[in-house]
Structure 1
């Protein structure tokens, strides 16, 4: 064993080369090698000193090596070319930079018998230039041939992280631009600069819709990645519907249709994220209006359902049975290939963040009714 180096974090101790070779033979002599080589995920088997004793074909190719023997005895950071792996004489895991490394933390947890999981932001020098990698790592203890090893799985999520970063920048810049235009139009309307202008009213409505659509798309992406932070509060059910009624009754989507509130309307306090609840109900209203014709009526209602409230949106159109079975699927739409997130977002936002449920009924002579059922108190959900 080599123990002649200082460390600022993990142990610098390493197994001798002969021990590494014997441990490698343990994997080669079992079905593990064939199994791991079939996996597209990068897999490394580590000993208790965090040294590679086996790597599958995907890992060897990603590391830029010809054979698995080229990485035996190295630690993951050294094999990956991490610039911090060579800061300390003890190697990967022993410098002060390694204290916040998700890979080292996951491996140490697995050495102790637990499953480790995390993310690792790594800089490596690829020939003459630096390359940044974002990796998701998982470390799991495994006994093979009477010895304890750590199965270290690595997934390159660099493209995903770059996409998410670009999305955040895009939404920030575009929302600022759209919000600025909408604010300017609002100022012109309030100052009555051009008198009573129908065009200015339409422009204001269009820019407000644009801002709302950008926010809706940003929230959907945040919801899918579990990054959305709901803000719960007490709110009146009738007030929630009246706000939606005022918002959509005169919107271009109405197309000459009537939007009304069914009485009696339950007026109870509900503990929810009002913005998300309005987003779900707003999608229901837009879908109902888009399915209708000039002269049709779309109704909103709220019913007291014991420890919950049922919000209802009804129109006279009927959804064909072939469409009903897929209506909540992601990117399923009867309108165009670029549509199909509205009903999916209803289900996602309701079940994951509002702790409620959504559904619908659709039949001849009854029309289509979508419902949103929300608990009055979150602790009862």
Structure 2
């Protein structure tokens, strides 16, 4: 209707651009112009899918916002140490400087992980990611991820509990990519629960498959459960819909595994990664 009206009012020589959005599934740019051909008037119109463009713009905006917040936290820590040093007009208190340096390193670590995670997810989405498979003990990766997650800001006053059925399970895949996916699931679980609650990371072996489960007590609304792995879908006010979409993409396309989610009022929410078991670590014979 808007297009026809534009031509009725004589806007024949200019293209008309419209941005149309239907729900979360379709974003298009509509372009049309009027032409004369052998004395007859025609309207030539085209639709261009700009969903990728809009999504990437949103992701970049949110990502840069997160980066700025983390950088601001580091600057705040360093400024506090500097102010204390100037106020005392004495040699810097070693305890305060040590703690400030520790916090600064920690926040810089968060910043680095955020950048690497973003880079990995975007490469996976564009198909340019190049995985590097190696054989490693799954227990070690889970333990390291759980320990690292304890230092995240969202882990404050929350507990992470890890349980394993067998510490000698070996898998073959890109260790860094699996760590990125697992950390994303643990981080989401921590953000979903309240202070004093716990997040459980468990690993069980079933029929040649290692199943890594991340559980929390919160419930995903039923209306959202069928969309959580979709690109651009998010329930967070400042979310970008990249984490779970990217996690499934990486797990299925680059790790040769699977990822699923079950959520309910009685059971809470569990995200499960399934990976084929390569072998078990050879144990030394009993003396």
Class of the TM-score when normalised by the shorter of the 2 chains? 0.5 to 0.7
Asked if the contact 1:298–1:313 (Cα under 8 Å) also holds between the matched residues in 2, the reply is yes
State whether structure 2 residue 125 is matched by structure 1 residue 224.
yes
Instruction: Give per-residue Cα distances to partners, 1:85-130, cap 9 Å, x unaligned.
Output: xxxxxxxxxxxxxxxxxxxxxxxxxxxxxxxxxxxxxxxxxxxxxx
Q: Distance in 2 between matches of 1:324 and 1:268?
A: 31
Deviation of residue 351 (structure 1)? Answer: 0.9
**Alignment-derived partner of residue 375 in structure 1:** 276
2:95 maps to 1:195? yes
In structure 2, the partner of 1:114 is: none
Mapped pair 1:358 → 2:259: yes
1:194 shift after superposition: 4.0
Select the residue among 106, 114, 120 that pairs with 1:213: 114
What is the aligned partner in structure 2 of residue 273 from structure 1?
174
Residue of structure 1 equivalent to 2:212 = 311
Contact 1:266 / 1:303 at 8 angstroms: preserved in 2?
A: no
In structure 2, relative to structure 1, the CA distance for the partners of 1:200 and 1:349 (3 Å cut) is same
| Residue 305 of structure 1: how far off its partner (Å) | 1.9
Taking structure 2 as the reference length, what is the TM-score of the superposition? 0.63
Query: Does the 8 A contact of 1:255 with 1:293 survive in 2?
Result: no
> 1:112-191 residue pairs with structure 2 within 5 A?
none
CA contact (8 A) 2:155 2:190 kept: yes
Q: Give per-residue Cα distances to partners, 1:34-53, cap 9 Å, x unaligned.
A: xxxxxxxxxxxxxxxxxxxx
Residue 263 of structure 1 deviates from its aligned partner by 4.4
TM-score by length of 1: 0.48
2:135 aligned partner: 234
Question: Relative contact order (C-alpha < 8 Å, sep 6+): which is higher?
Answer: 2
Secondary structure of the equivalent of 1:345?
A: helix
1:62-73 mapped onto 2 (5 Å cutoff): none
Check whether the contact 2:139–2:164 (CA below 8 A) recurs between aligned residues: no
What SS does the corresponding residue of 1:208 show, helix, strand or coil? helix
Q: Indicate the RMSD between aligned Cα atoms, in angstroms.
A: 3.2
* Cα deviation, residue 235, structure 1: 0.8
CA distance in 2, matches of 1:329, 1:304: 28
- Match of residue 247 from structure 1: 148
Supply the distance in 2 between the matched residues of 1:226 and 1:193 (Cα, whole angstroms).
Answer: 51
**TM-superposed deviation, 1:302:** 0.7
> In the aligned structure 2, how far is the partner of 1:292 from the partner of 1:338?
17
Please state if 1:300 is matched with 2:193: no
2:225 to 303, 324, 328: 324
Contact 2:160/2:199 (<8 A) preserved: yes
Match of 1:262, SS?
A: strand
Contact 2:259/2:271 (8 A) holds in 1: yes
Q: CA deviation at 1:266?
A: 4.7
Structure possessing the higher radius of gyration over alpha carbons: 1
The equivalent of 1:344 in structure 2 is 245
Q: Could you tell me whether the CA contact under 8 Å between 1:266 and 1:302 is conserved in 2?
A: no
Displacement of 1:202: 2.4
In structure 2, distance between residues paired with 1:309 and 1:281: 13
- Corresponding residue number in structure 2 for 1:333: 234
1:262 aligns with 2:166: no
2:95 aligns to what SS in structure 1? coil
Looking at structure 2, the residues matched to 256 and 267 of structure 1 have their Cα atoms a distance apart, in angstroms, of 31
- CA distance in structure 1 between the aligned counterparts of 2:102 and 2:193, rounded to whole angstroms: 24
SS at 2:151 equivalent: coil
CA–CA distance in structure 1, aligned partners of residues 164 and 144 of structure 2: 16
Q: Is the 8 A contact 2:125 2:246 kept in 1?
A: no
Question: Is the contact between residue 265 and residue 301 of structure 1 (CA under 8 Å) also seen in structure 2?
Answer: no
